[in-house]
């Protein structure tokens, strides 16, 4: 059948099972949007307040479902406004396809109105990107974009389409998508000898620990991590992005490891004789001082991305490939045993160094808010976060039972991420209550997306931890810069509850601990209205414990 390029884009989206896209129209994307209008009964378009909000919403949708998130923008500033969201998805291995309009081919390279080289700009922050100048290549390019976004280590792909290509007519032949899940044929089997070495290392270890990263969840390999841990009696920690890949209530769970990890996790890694790292990248926030990381341990690193093996740490047992397949092979050779001496040591640290804070009848403690959210949602909510102190409290004090329950910007640390992601996650999972735990500094950056949540009647909850400061930066200034609080006070008198009401949402001020439960319960009862809970917290509350910059994990201290 003969179709316009814009109609081909829409048909390719339908081929890929896309039922929702996020975006903002503009001149070079007009023909695409006209095609979207004609397909409005098959693909829902969510009009965000800003293109960055669209990219974060597509990201949140993808993280909540595992599907490819899709966002659309016009050329120039529309495309560049997607950049932060694309980089966020790239750092956290999130499958996304960003479609941008571009000036007509005859105007390329002439500094035309709203022309930017978006493929050049995004080359370092995408798995791949394309500029389409020939309509006959459009369908195959769209199909490749989705395949690349999904396969192996997921990530964002950008497709830049010239306006004349969207208008041109071409013969379109429908095509059933090829299966491109987590693993493609290029990921070869691990040798039997490498698997045997890994099995022997685990069976012979006396003080093993598991580090479960997001790659475990992406590979749907959680059951194998749990099985191996239980069979070999191995304590487990997660990375920030790996939250939920091991149950937060499990007796072998030690909590997060790294800069704001538990003392138990950090001490366990420091004293371990085998670190089994699965689907993580050994970021600086986990490793801290490289020369001091797990000095007594051999390192086993299992990941689908060979580029991560040995990038930050020397590895004794490298295993590159399908995480689920590798773990299944390892599990088959594990000898069931108990490690009473090691587990007793772990449990002693848990008793001696639990996450703790002092409850106050007069001041709302942020840790208490997270605990009450956990209890009142029965641990079933999807939690998105902005970036800062509140993000760490959300990671520390909510017990995640499954992957895709904690949605946060880990690698890039994008302030302003959470509200857009919350919108995307709620649209993806209307069966779940989705709560964005935010700081007032981050929330200010993209609060305009409240209008989007109101328009689409999304019952999201924004739990705003309002300390009138850039809390994490202020904490560092106090601890490491002799309390020189340079530009971290944002006590501007903004009434966030009134602001929410002005957008058409429901705003509630919470000023004392006794109001916390009733406010949360009221918010949970809403079914088609966003609710902002403005919690007044103290600017001197700190995330604790912390590994000071440049220190070893064993040097973790309380604040």
Catalytic residues: 51, 113-114, 163, 472
Q: Assign 58 to helix, strand or coil.
A: helix
Structural contact between residues 87 and 80, judged by C-beta atoms closer than 8 angstroms: no
* Cα–Cα dist 6/142, whole Å: 12
User: Which two structure tokens, joined as six digits, stand for 551?
Assistant: 């220190």
Separation of alpha carbons 5 and 35, rounded Å: 9
Paired strand residues for 237:
211, 255
Contact 98, 157 (CB under 8 A): yes
If we measure between CA atoms, which residue out of 284, 327, 163 comes closest to residue 550?
A: 284
Q: Which of 241, 317, 242 lies closest to 276 in space, CA to CA? A: 317
Query: 164: part of which helix (H) or strand (E)?
Result: helix 163-167
Name which of 552, 546, 497 is nearest 522 in CA terms.
497
Assigned token pair, 184: 């493609």
What is the CA angle 137-142-143, rounded to 5? 105
Q: Specify the 3-state DSSP secondary structure of 246.
A: coil
191: Cα within 13 Å, side-chain hemisphere: 5
Distance CA 527, CA 457 (A): 8
Q: Compute the distance between CA of residue 11 and CA of residue 69 in angstroms, rounded to an integer.
A: 16
User: What one-character-per-residue DSSP string does 306-374 give?
Assistant: GGGTTTSS--SEEEES-HHHHHHHHHHHPPP---HHHHHHHHHHHHHS-------SSSB-HHHHHHHHH
Residues 6 or more apart in contact with residue 109 via CB below 8 angstroms: none
282 three-state secondary structure: coil
Q: Which DSSP symbol is given to 291? A: G
45 φ, ψ to 5°?
Answer: -105, 130
């Amino acid at each position: 059948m003969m179709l316009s390029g814009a109609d081909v884009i829409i048909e390719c989206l339908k081929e890929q099972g896309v039922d929702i896209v996020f975006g903002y129209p503009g001149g070079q994307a007009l023909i695409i949007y006209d095609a979207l209008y004609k397909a409005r009964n098959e693909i829902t378009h969510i009009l965000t307040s800003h293109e960055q909000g669209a990219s974060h919403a597509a990201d949140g949708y993808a993280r909540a479902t595992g599907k490819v998130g899709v966002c659309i923008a016009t050329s120039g500033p529309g495309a560049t406004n997607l950049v932060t969201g694309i980089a966020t998805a790239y750092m956290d291995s999130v499958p996304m396809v960003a479609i941008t309009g571009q000036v007509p081919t005859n105007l390329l390279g002439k500094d035309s109105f709203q022309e930017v080289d978006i493929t050049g700009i995004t080359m370092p922050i995408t798995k791949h990107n394309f500029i389409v100048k020939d309509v006959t290549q459009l369908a195959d390019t769209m199909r490749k974009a989705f395949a690349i976004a999904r396969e192996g280590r997921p990530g964002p792909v950008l497709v830049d389409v010239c306006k004349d290509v969207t208008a041109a007519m071409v013969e379109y032949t429908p095509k059933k998508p090829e299966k491109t899940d987590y693993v493609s044929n290029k990921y070869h089997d691990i040798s039997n000898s490498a698997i045997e070495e890994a099995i022997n290392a685990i069976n012979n270890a006396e003080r093993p620990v598991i580090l479960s990263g997001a790659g475990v969840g992406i590979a749907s390999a959680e059951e194998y991590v749990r099985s191996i841990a239980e069979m070999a009696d191995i304590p487990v920690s997660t990375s920030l992005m790996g939250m939920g890949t091991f149950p937060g209530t499990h007796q072998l769970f030690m909590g997060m490891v790294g800069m704001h990890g538990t003392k138990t996790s950090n001490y366990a890694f420091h004293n371990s004789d085998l670190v089994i790292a699965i689907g993580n990248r050994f970021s600086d926030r986990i490793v801290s001082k490289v020369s001091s990381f797990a000095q007594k341990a051999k390192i086993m690193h299992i990941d689908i991305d060979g580029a991560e093996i040995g990038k930050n740490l020397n590895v004794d047992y490298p295993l590159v490939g399908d995480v689920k397949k590798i773990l299944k092979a390892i599990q088959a050779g594990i000898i069931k045993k108990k490690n009473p001496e090691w587990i007793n040591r772990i449990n002693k640290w848990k008793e001696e160094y639990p996450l703790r804070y002092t409850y106050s009848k007069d001041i709302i403690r942020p840790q208490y808010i997270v605990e009450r959210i956990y209890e009142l949602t029965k641990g079933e909510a999807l939690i998105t976060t902005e970036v800062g102190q509140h993000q760490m409290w959300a990671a520390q004090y909510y017990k995640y039972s499954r992957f895709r329950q904690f949605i946060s910007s880990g690698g890039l640390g994008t302030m302003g991420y959470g509200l857009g992601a919350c919108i995307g996650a709620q649209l993806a999972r209307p069966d779940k209550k989705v709560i964005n735990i935010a700081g007032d500094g981050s929330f200010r950056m993209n609060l305009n997306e409240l209008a989007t949540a109101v328009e689409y009647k999304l019952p999201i909850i924004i739990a705003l931890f309002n300390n009138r400061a850039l809390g994490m930066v202020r904490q560092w200034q106090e601890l490491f810069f002799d309390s020189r609080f340079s530009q971290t006070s944002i006590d501007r008198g903004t009434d966030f509850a009134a602001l929410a009401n002005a957008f058409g949402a429901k705003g509630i001020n919470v000023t004392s601990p006794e109001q916390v439960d009733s406010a949360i319960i009221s918010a949970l009862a809403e079914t088609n209205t966003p609710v902002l809970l403005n919690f007044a917290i103290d600017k001197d509350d700190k995330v604790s414990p912390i590994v000071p910059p440049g220190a070893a994990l064993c040097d973790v201290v309380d604040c």
